[in-house]
Amino acid sequence: MLRYVRSRSVVSRLIAEETLIVPVRRGVGDLASIYSLNPVASAIWNVLSEPRTKNEIVQLLEQEFDAPPETVVSDVEAFLSEMSTAGLVETAEVGVAA
């Protein structure tokens, strides 16, 4: 089962109700690559503080936002794809216990 989690090579801060993410390379923040998250993306980022499956993320977001389920799924998939491509979110395959 695929789980998603924040990369350990980024720092994030909530500043003036806006989540900012800065990749850290060789111990230095890459200020040319600062990411600013909207409220939905911030909520997804917050739940990624620990490894989660896509379905777990969707379920948590459905509880927080009044949106059609297909919109939540679409938003989560887009966020995970974009953040994985940017190296801000990592994936790990976790086996199911027998």
List of domains in the chain = 2-88 (3.90.930)
Give the span between the Cα atoms of 61 and 44, in whole angstroms: 7
pLDDT digits (tens, 9 = 90+) for 59-81: 999 999 999 999 999 999 999 99
pLDDT of residue 98: 45
| Mode of pairing for the β-strands spanning 89-93 and 2-6 | antiparallel
* pTM score, whole prediction: 0.84
9 and 24 in contact (C-beta within 8 Å)?
yes
For 46-58, write each residue's pLDDT tens digit: 999 999 999 999 9
Which two structure tokens, joined as six digits, stand for 31? 């200020």
